Structure 1
Amino acid sequence: MQHLHLFVAEFGNASLNQQPAGSFSHYVLTAVLIEEAKLMQARELQADISQRFFQGHPIQSSRIPDDELGFQMQVAILQELRQLDFLVLSLVINKSKVVGEGLSQQEIFYKYFNRIFLKQFPQNFTSFSIHADQVGWPGFQRSLQHYIQTKVIQRDLFTPDRTYQLVEDRLAEPLVQLADFIAGCLGKIYCTSHSHEKAAFLFDLLHDRSFVDFFPFEKTDFLLSIPEHDQEKNELIAQIAAASAREALAQHHRLSEEAQAVLQYLYLMFRTAPDRLVEKYEIIEKLKKVFPNFSEQQLRVCIQHLRDDGVLIVSIQGKSGYKIPDRVADIAGFYNRYLNSIVPMINRLNICNRKLLVNSLQQVDLLQANSNYSILHELIKTLDKDKQPHPPLDLMS
């Protein structure tokens, strides 16, 4: 493989204080990967975009208006960038989940997450140059550069073609501007405090080029005895679940605006990271940008309506979130969650009914007397049968 160039930029900041208006809910680190043979084409394209959209000024997300015209400008630039062969790797950090000694200090925050993000490159590539947009003040920049070079890059006699440098002048290395722009687009998709209601358009233009990781990464883990390598069924479940979401979105007149927005976000996350559990607060924060009074109770109602409409959405006992299923374990865990709720409820009904039957000498038997309760009566009978011991083996026959 030829020498690889990685251009790194960020969206958001390291501040964990999310109380002030305009605070960033997430911090997004992004690397744009371009092979050395494509650098000339990339620089020509960058110069053309700079001239056409920014009057020759550097390409910066902060220069793009935060309105419909600005959004259409982002879409148009992404369409232009698709002429170029590149990949995007990104780490989306949920700052509300960042805990640990010292991480509230910006210097430690930047070093910690840059190390997590950048360590994948020495593991996967032998020859590369990382060009990172500068952060912080000069003293910290020198400290960060030394830290990454010694703790992450680890250049030696066997891998001499590895470098890391902070780019002080974006005009000297203009391709960092492309990383800044794409980081801004990803921020509009994944940073719930700054996400755009039409983020799906940006996602569609980046999806086949992007690999996104999340911190922390919540996933379904039911600890059930499901065969691990049942890949064929997993793929079938993912296809059926995705189709159920697409069908509901296509017939959006059947859904409330809130339910449609919830499903759009869950489907977007499904397409990004199928095994990721999307926590309730994240969905609520996303919806509040459009529906300021959106609550957890409204989220539950939306999920109920979507499920009633045939959309496959699972949740996990003991965890606060939802996802579109992509594997057998998701469905089994969903069934298990309801089984753990329904069976105790039926048992309580049975205890109540037996108490009334015994103490009234069978004069009070509402389950038998009222046809509306026939299904409850059958469920109790089924559970009672399951409780009966198996008949002993007839060893003499």
Structure 2
Amino acid sequence: MTETENIFNGNNDIYAYLDECGGYGFKQYNQDSPLFIIVAIIVKSSDIELIDKKLQDIRNKDFNNSEIKSNNIKGNHKRRAKILDKIKDLPFSFFAFIADKRAIFTDHGITKSKATFYKFLNEKVYEELRSTYPSLNIITDEIGNNEYVREFTNYVNSNRKPITLFDKEFFKVVNSKTTNAIQLADLIAGTLSYIYDDEKKKKVPNNIHFLNIINTKIAKIRFFPQSYDKSLFEHAEGSPDYDRNIVQIVYRKAIDFCNRNINSNNEDIKRQVFVLNYLLFRYQYNSYRKYIQTKELMRAMELNNFPKISEQVFRNKVIGKLRDNDVIISSSTKGYKLPSSEKEICNYYHHVNSVVIPMIHRLNLCNESLKMAEGSKIDYLDKTNFKALKKLTSVYRNIIHKPDL
């Protein structure tokens, strides 16, 4: 049993193990990465012992019992992929905050000092974690010479406060050499740099896709400055998987909904905003624009502390309500996505067609049989509540009874 396992006894308590990748430097990106990445490994208290044991096995077999660190792998991309494949099924998720220092330098006034920059990052990361989990245990590496960790420790100690009377929080600094989950945070942070740092990404072979391996472990990734425009229109013109006009209208509708509802306290709307942001995240990266299964979206909500709901409620109160608010979401047997091509729009239309037309057909058969039995004296579709259905079945009958010209 690890030293942090006994802090709280509840199985719903969450442990967030933090580490970072990158530095403060804003002037010379040939030495410093343009990205500053903070990762929190999220583990339920009931899974800590298993996580620790499995990670220790990986340390023994793949790191000769030394630390699981991204720098111990460096540019050996096959080795990194192999190790990530081993950890992808472990019971954890991660939250990441990725700051692009190039954009911050030109657009924001938070770079005047290292302390100001770190304070800004600390506020964003701490608020994200604190607002999501009522029973939160934050574990970071020993202070040592790590300035960011020192600033984060100072920030948490100065700003920690419960959101409700039932909240619990614990903050502890430990030695990463003996805390495997912090080493995992280091590995994930370093891997994200090979996904989002343009220069490092160029060195990864085309047949290795780190994001594909770890995507199911993502609870949330926040970018600062938040922008989905950077790679939104990277597709070559004429690609069958891309239509610029569709991409633009789908993107605008989604962003507009998020902007209008980001501060809503309504639980259903908060779910809608979260799911739409999840879809937008996948939409941003063209190489990973694929349909997302309902189970993955629902699992992501649970990882972000939303109460569990049924698939029927998810379809009606999340996806359905988003569509009611003019958000364009394509669906198929493979799941949901924000469409970027005519094919994906047609997938949605085919899906609706396969559901609605058979239902209208069956309703029409039912109504005709009842009318026949009643000698055409009663038409249940004449009732006030069914005016729309009356018109639909009338149009349907006109179509199927119309002779071919």
Corresponding position: 1:149 with 2:157: yes
**Structure 2 residue aligned with 1:123:** 131
Cα shift at 1:86: 1.1
**Structure 1 residue aligned with 2:354:** none
Q: How does 1:317-336 map to 2 (within 5 A)?
A: 326=339
**Structure 2 residue aligned with 1:163:** 170
Structure 2 CA distance, aligned partners of 1:160 and 1:208?
A: 28
Cα distance, 1:36–1:267 mapped onto 2, change above 3 Å: same
Corresponding position: 1:16 with 2:35: no
Cα contact 2:98–2:223 (8 A) shared by 1: yes
User: In the TM superposition, what whole-angstrom CA distance separates every residue of 1:80-124 from its partner, at most 9, and x where no partner exists?
Assistant: 112311111111111101144452422221221121122112211
Corresponding position: 1:30 with 2:49: no
Corresponding position: 1:175 with 2:181: yes
Q: What secondary structure does 1:24 align onto? A: coil
User: Computing the radius of gyration over CA atoms, which structure comes out larger, 1 or 2?
Assistant: 1
Q: What secondary structure does 1:15 align onto? A: coil
Cα shift at 1:172: 3.4
**Structure 2 residue aligned with 1:73:** 79
Deviates more, 1:29-38 or 1:116-125: 116-125
User: In the TM superposition, what whole-angstrom CA distance separates every residue of 1:146-166 from its partner, at most 9, and x where no partner exists?
Assistant: 312332x31488245212233
Q: What secondary structure does 1:22 align onto? A: coil
Cα contact 1:42–1:84 (8 A) shared by 2: yes
**Structure 2 residue aligned with 1:206:** 214
User: In the TM superposition, what whole-angstrom CA distance separates every residue of 1:183-236 from its partner, at most 9, and x where no partner exists?
Assistant: 11111101223224347521111112212221111246989997988x9xxx9x
Structure 1 CA distance, aligned partners of 2:53 and 2:33?
A: 33
Q: What secondary structure does 1:119 align onto? A: helix
Structure 2 CA distance, aligned partners of 1:158 and 1:184?
A: 37
Gaps of 5+ in 2: 1-10, 230-247, 258-271, 293-336, 342-405
Q: What secondary structure does 2:28 align onto? A: coil
Deviates more, 1:215-224 or 1:180-189: 215-224
Query: What amino acid is aligned across from residue 94 of structure 1 in structure 2?
Result: D
**Structure 2 residue aligned with 1:267:** 286
Gaps of 5+ in 1: 243-264, 274-323, 329-397
Match of 1:88 among 72, 83, 94: 94
**Structure 1 residue aligned with 2:104:** 98
User: In the TM superposition, what whole-angstrom CA distance separates every residue of 1:355-393 from its partner, at most 9, and x where no partner exists?
Assistant: xxxxxxxxxxxxxxxxxxxxxxxxxxxxxxxxxxxxxxx
Cα distance, 1:101–1:34 mapped onto 2, change above 3 Å: same
Cα distance, 1:193–1:163 mapped onto 2, change above 3 Å: farther
Structure 1 CA distance, aligned partners of 2:291 and 2:115?
A: 30
Query: What amino acid is aligned across from residue 61 of structure 2 in structure 1?
Result: R
Structure 1 CA distance, aligned partners of 2:122 and 2:252?
A: 37
User: In the TM superposition, what whole-angstrom CA distance separates every residue of 1:44-72 from its partner, at most 9, and x where no partner exists?
Assistant: 11111111111111111111142xxx211
Cα contact 1:149–1:163 (8 A) shared by 2: no
Q: What secondary structure does 1:171 align onto? A: helix
Cα contact 1:25–1:192 (8 A) shared by 2: no
Query: What amino acid is aligned across from residue 119 of structure 1 in structure 2?
Result: E
Cα contact 2:88–2:216 (8 A) shared by 1: no
Cα contact 2:36–2:99 (8 A) shared by 1: yes
Cα shift at 1:180: 0.4
Structure 2 CA distance, aligned partners of 1:131 and 1:141?
A: 11
Report the aligned-residue RMSD: 3.8
Q: What secondary structure does 1:93 align onto? A: strand
Structure 2 CA distance, aligned partners of 1:57 and 1:84?
A: 20
Structure 2 CA distance, aligned partners of 1:140 and 1:31?
A: 14
Cα distance, 1:226–1:46 mapped onto 2, change above 3 Å: closer
Q: How does 1:1-397 map to 2 (within 5 A)?
A: 2-19=12-29, 21-66=30-75, 70-99=76-105, 100-134=108-142, 137=145, 143-151=151-159, 153-155=160-162, 158-159=165-166, 161-167=168-174, 169-195=175-201, 196-198=203-205, 201-210=209-218, 211-219=220-228, 266-268=285-287, 270=289, 326=339
Cα contact 2:119–2:152 (8 A) shared by 1: yes
Cα distance, 1:77–1:214 mapped onto 2, change above 3 Å: same
Cα shift at 1:134: 4.9
Cα distance, 1:122–1:50 mapped onto 2, change above 3 Å: same
Cα shift at 1:73: 1.2
Cα distance, 1:85–1:171 mapped onto 2, change above 3 Å: same
Cα distance, 1:215–1:137 mapped onto 2, change above 3 Å: same
Cα distance, 1:194–1:37 mapped onto 2, change above 3 Å: same
User: In the TM superposition, what whole-angstrom CA distance separates every residue of 1:308-354 from its partner, at most 9, and x where no partner exists?
Assistant: xxxxxxxxxxxxxxxx97479xxxxxxxxxxxxxxxxxxxxxxxxxx
Q: What secondary structure does 2:226 align onto? A: coil
